[in-house]
Homo-oligomer: A and B are copies of this chain.
Amino acid sequence: MNAGRTARERARAELTEEIKTIARRQLATDGAADLSLRAISRELGMVSSAIYRYFPSRDDLLTALIIDAYDALGEAAEAAVEPDYDRPLDAWLAVCAAVRDWARANPHEYALIYGSPISGYQAPQTTVQPASRVPILLLGLLDRAQADGQLVVPGDAPEPDGVLAEQVQVLVALAPGVPPPVLVRTVIVWTQLFGMISFELFGQLVGSMDPADAFFDSTTRQMAAFVGLS
């Protein structure tokens, strides 16, 4: 019973992966709402009930796809920063651009994780760790910038108090060197980044900032300055 040695276990792992691959392709062409277990089984040459041996329900398949999407996005973001950079601003901008690029390349997967939650679907705890890769990456950049003396804390950033001061403690644990006012601003910028990308992808920018390249570039720079990078 060591790591997947029996023929059955190998076949099972392969089929599981194959199901997800086909599902991902269906997702890319038709969107999450049209994802059909029967269509997948048809494409696999199996009978529809067989799929349920691998994913007990449609929601379980979606959960697997969601986790994969978070991981793919996180990986793309992390890959955008070279380990020995010396300009934190450039690394910051690279991460933002990588997130946007991934989102535009995989709009349906992006919608799956940052769009409306699937109806009747409760995101399991399993998704929160892969979901936090991007914000953790951003916090890491700031922490290192601060350590290198390249973070200039903006003078007009208010010190959080009350509930907010407590909540920010979670972030202090992730980026101990970054002062609380900047941590709060990082969350603000994080919500702005994904809000902007969602607006671009979901068509909310049509009529004003579409195409969004120039707007995105200007925004990420201003937001970098907002947290103290320049």
**Residues of A that sit less than 8 Å from B by CB:** 30-34, 111-112, 114-120, 123, 128, 131-132, 135, 156-158, 160, 162-164, 167, 170-171, 184-185, 187-188, 191-196, 198-199, 202-204, 206-209, 211, 213-215, 218-219, 221-223, 225-226
Give the Cβ gap from A214 to chain B, nearest Cβ, in Å.
4
Copy tally for this chain in the complex stands at 2
Find A196's partner among B117, B191, B218 (CB 8 Å cutoff): B191
Contacts of A191 in B (CB 8 A): 192, 195-196, 199, 219
Pair B187/A120 contact, Cβ less than 8 Å: no
Pair B120/A34 contact, Cβ less than 8 Å: yes
What is the CA–CA distance of A215 and B164 in the complex, to the nearest angstrom? 6
Contacts of A135 in B (CB 8 A): 208
Pair A208/B114 contact, Cβ less than 8 Å: no
With A188-B219, A194-B198 given, name 8 new contacts (CB 8 A). Answer: A116-B116, A117-B203, A128-B207, A163-B211, A188-B223, A191-B192, A191-B196, A192-B192
A171-B214 contact in complex given A31-B120, A195-B192, A226-B226, C-beta closer than 8 Å: no
- Please report whether the interface of chain A is mostly helix, strand, loop or mixed according to DSSP: helix
Find A215's partner among B131, B167, B192, B218 (CB 8 Å cutoff): B167
Find A202's partner among B31, B116, B163 (CB 8 Å cutoff): B116
Contacts of A218 in B (CB 8 A): 158, 160, 164, 184
Which of the listed residues A112, A114, A128 has the most CB atoms from chain B within 10 Å of its own CB?
A: A114
What is the CA–CA distance of A163 and B128 in the complex, to the nearest angstrom? 38
Contacts of A157 in B (CB 8 A): 222
